[in-house]
């Protein structure tokens, strides 16, 4: 008897990037919002918001956040499995 097997690996990866300080005085769309409301607005609209710096490589706030330096990377929930191939 021959059995064909695959080994699988699965991970959850968390990457924390360097902080970007945003001065809400430079973002009129955030005027009058609480910190919680502003964070929610940024989460939903970051692609349409201007970055905090002028840089040819970032078009919006999300680009700036995702291109900042990685300060911590953590891999958790490692799972290993051997399964039969089809």
Q: How many CB atoms lie within 10 A of CB 61?
A: 20
**Which tens digit of pLDDT belongs to each residue from 14-64?**
899 999 999 999 999 999 999 999 999 999 999 999 999 888 889 999 999
| pTM for the whole structure | 0.68
CA distance linking residue 8 with residue 46, whole number of Å: 36
Check residue 7 and give its pLDDT: 92
- In three-state secondary structure terms, 32 is coil
Check residue 45 and give its pLDDT: 96
Q: Is the pLDDT of residue 86 over 80?
A: no
Check residue 46 and give its pLDDT: 94
Q: Which residue has the tokens 């809400």?
A: 24
Check residue 29 and give its pLDDT: 96
Question: Is the separation of the CB atoms in 80 and 11 below 8 Å?
Answer: no
């Amino acid at each position: 008897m021959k059995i064909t097997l695959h080994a699988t690996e699965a991970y959850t990866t968390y990457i924390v990037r360097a902080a970007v300080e945003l001065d809400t005085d430079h973002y009129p769309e955030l005027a009058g919002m609480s910190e919680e409301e502003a964070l929610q607005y940024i989460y939903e609209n970051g692609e349409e918001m201007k970055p905090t710096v002028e840089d040819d490589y970032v078009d919006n706030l999300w680009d700036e956040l995702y291109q900042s330096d990685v300060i911590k990377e953590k891999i958790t929930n490692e799972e290993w499995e051997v399964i039969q191939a089809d």
